[in-house]
Amino acid sequence: MIDRQSELTRQINQKKVHKRQFTKRDGRDLFLYGFEAHTETALEQDGGEVAKGGELRYHPLRQEWNVYAPHRQNRTFKPSSANDPLAPSKLGGAPTEIPFTQFEIAIFENKFTSLHKDAPTPMSITGLKSKLAKGRCDVVVYTAADSGSLATIGQARRRLLIETWVDRYEALFDQGCDFVLPFENRGEEVGVTLPHPHGQIYAFPFIPDVQAKAAKAFRNGYDLSADIKRNAEVYGVANAGGMQAFCPPYTRFPYETWIAPIEKIAGPWDFNETQSDGFGHLLGEMTRKYDEFFQRPTAYMLSLHAAPKGEDNTFHFTAQFYPLLRAPNRVKYLASVEQSTGAFTVDVMPETAAKTLRTL
């Protein structure tokens, strides 16, 4: 009897990923990725001015850099389905961000970017440290369909998505960025204004504080692999292809779940085929589990924490899900204590969360 998952894996692994680079009328890049070569002629496009990022300012008490980009106040806000900017364009219809009638995965530079290679000179304020907000912000459109999730797009599309992330990691590091963060915001509680299935990629000109602290911990000998193996029975949720989904005993969000290679790997660029399969499967499986448990499309933040530049030898990759719900129809608000101190109050014990998600 044929193992359907193994057969699908074999078919995916035998397919070549095609990439098409296209320059939009306003000068922004558009990349089209697929298992089939994309050769369609572009339709009519919008033009207009494109923002070139904001500026970085240093917070002297928190000792961190933050991005200021006031032009983002004008970004598209909850358009009708007929005006979906992430949909494929239609013959005779209004132009969208993607001037083609079909695609598999599309990535383009955000029109309302916070970081840009030609970032403007920051305002000069006495006593304030500031610098250019160089970098890049990309939008990653998972599918031409106007609805769906990481669970419903299927394993083949998730594998293709991993390949596109790897390609962008390599390109953005080559362009001089210090840290690259693919992420997805899902649900209105997170502030999502475009419901079309998509994620984003931010490429930073510095290593943000969270990742700098993680890199330091790994350099100082913290062994995440040992923790994963030691805690798998109590905190494990699912595993596949050498990858483990688990609720760390130190989570900050109720039902927070991480996906990580069981053995240390710096980032998806070092995954073998089995690990890519496992990672893709678990991205879909965790989204499915959340939706089943919360009885609705779950609002969450998903971020990929791969090694910053120069940290490959010690860094251990994780993909981290932060659900914005603490129970069905109950939102986890990050209120005064969390915002003021950074000390989170967690409403669900991680071992309880792991057991609940594991049994779904």
Please write the tens of the pLDDT for every residue from 158-170. 999 999 999 999 9
Token pair listed for 267: 């980032």
CA distances (Å), 261 to each of 30, 52, 241, 279, in order? Answer: 31, 37, 9, 8
198 is catalytic: yes
Catalytic pick among 18, 59, 71, 198: 198
- Report all structural domains of the chain as residue ranges with CATH numbers, in order of start: 16-206 (3.30.428.10), 211-358 (3.30.428.10)
What is the separation of C-alpha 325 from the centre of its chain, rounded to a whole number of angstroms? 19
The three-point CA angle 103-30-282 to 5° equals 60
The most confident of the ranges 36-50, 62-76, 279-293 is 279-293
Token pair listed for 183: 């992420």
Q: What is the mean pLDDT of the chain?
A: 93
Please write the tens of the pLDDT for every residue from 282-339. 999 999 999 999 999 999 999 999 999 999 999 999 999 999 999 998 998 888 999 9
Burial pattern 291-303, b for ≥16 Cβ within 10 A else e, equals: bebbeebbbbbbb
Q: How far apart are CA 241 and CA 261, in angstroms?
A: 9
Token pair listed for 95: 């132009």
Please write the tens of the pLDDT for every residue from 71-94. 777 666 566 667 899 999 999 888
Tell me 187's DSSP state.
S
Task: Give this prediction's pTM.
Answer: 0.94
The pLDDT of residue 1: 33
Please write the tens of the pLDDT for every residue from 90-132. 998 889 999 999 999 999 999 989 999 999 999 999 999 999 9
Q: What percent of the chain has pLDDT over 70?
A: 94
